[in-house]
Structure 1
Amino acid sequence: MKKFIYSFLSLILAISTSTFAQKPQQDTTKRYIKTPTGFFMVLRQGDDVLAQLENFALKENIPSASYSGMGFVNAKFGFFNFKTKEYEPKEFERVELASMSGSVAWQNGKPSLHTHGTVTGKDFKAYGGHLLSATVGTGSVEITITVHQQKLERVKEEPLGANVLNLGN
């Protein structure tokens, strides 16, 4: 019996030691590659699409860019209310991102994205507008990024109350 208890305790100790000794694995999956026209990005399930684009712009020091994409997402769109100067949101779960387009500029030293898109459900109805957030659902999201040479800034214009791309006027 003593031998059984000793073996059992040794097994428990070995399991607990190996469980606590394991470090969480860092995701090292490559998210984008350089191409002759800019970059190509492939995002995976759970990735925050807009955060990945912002991090990319910072890491690669992108002066400005245009992008387009498609894939599977959970998305939140917003319709800009000119009276309140805020977006009225609507969320869509487990939808196909049929089309996404946007631009990268800078505002207050940080990347500033302006993104629109269209999603469809299994009923084939389409919804779209200003993309407030998107997380990759099952599958992936593929994004083609075309980099521009000139650094562009966004400026909040009044009385509009919206950020507008400034071309240096």
Structure 2
Amino acid sequence: MFLLSKKIIAGAMLCLAVNLVSAQQKDDSQKCRYTKTSYGYLMVLREGDNVLALIENLAKEQQIPSANFTGIGFAQEVTFGFYDFSQKKFNPKTFSKVEMGNLTGSIAWNEDKPSLHIHGIATDDKFDAYGGHILGLKVGTGSMEIYITVNQQKLQRKIEQPLNANVLQLPCLN
């Protein structure tokens, strides 16, 4: 009888643990990724989130005319690109398990799609720093906070030659 009681208690504890894990996973998936603020938006992204895709989605969903943003947090993976002017393309280099000490960028539009321009600095566990133009960024263990300041004027980017680069187009002042 004592052995049966131990098995029942162990089974009940296992069920409770499984339900608790399920509840935590459900809660994590339902956490808000962004909220409106007096200046624009605040994003809090979590492990595995694709930062560039989520900023682009926010710009589309909220119809952000243009914006600038800053951020900090942990990165599972960041890909920097250094622009090769002779080849007219970015040479990528990826770093894993780093901390974004700085993330700075802007949101404009290229026709009907958001166009991001992002730079940043990442540091590793030896405090070595890497930086430049960001081509890809995925959140690591922990979180990433991004503060987005919205501008009311819709800004556009267009490919300019001879660089073959997306350049922000400014309206002239009269």
- Shorter-chain TM-score category? 0.7 to 0.9
Alignment of 1:1-169 (within 5 A): 27-73=29-75, 74-169=77-172
Structure 1: 4+ residue segments shifted above 6 A = none
Question: Which amino acid in 1 is paired with 2:162?
Answer: P
Shift of 1:42: 0.2
Count of residue correspondences? 146
Question: How far apart, in 2, do the equivalents of 1:70 and 1:58 lie?
Answer: 23
Question: How far apart, in 2, do the equivalents of 1:43 and 1:127 lie?
Answer: 22
Deviates most, 113-122 or 32-41:
32-41
Secondary structure, in 3 states, of the residue corresponding to 2:48? coil
Secondary structure, in 3 states, of the residue corresponding to 1:79? strand
Shift of 1:69: 0.2
Shift of 1:160: 1.6
Question: Which amino acid in 2 is paired with 1:100?
Answer: L
Shift of 1:112: 0.2
String of CA shifts for 1:65-116, please: whole Å, max 9, x gaps.
0000000011000000011111000000000000000000000210000000
Question: How far apart, in 2, do the equivalents of 1:105 and 1:163 lie?
Answer: 11
Q: Percent identity?
A: 52
**Structure 2: stretches of 5+ with no match in the other structure:** 1-25
Question: How far apart, in 2, do the equivalents of 1:128 and 1:45 lie?
Answer: 21
**Root mean square deviation of aligned Cα:** 1.4
Shift of 1:161: 1.1
Question: Which amino acid in 2 is paired with 1:165?
Answer: L
Q: 1:7 — aligned with what?
A: none
Deviates most, 40-49 or 159-168:
159-168
Question: Which amino acid in 2 is paired with 1:156?
Answer: I
Shift of 1:37: 1.1
String of CA shifts for 1:20-71, please: whole Å, max 9, x gaps.
xxxxx69322101111111110000000000000000000000000000000
Question: How far apart, in 1, do the equivalents of 2:111 and 2:141 lie?
Answer: 35
TM-score w.r.t. structure 1 length? 0.83
Question: How far apart, in 1, do the equivalents of 2:62 and 2:128 lie?
Answer: 37
Question: Which amino acid in 2 is paired with 1:50?
Answer: L
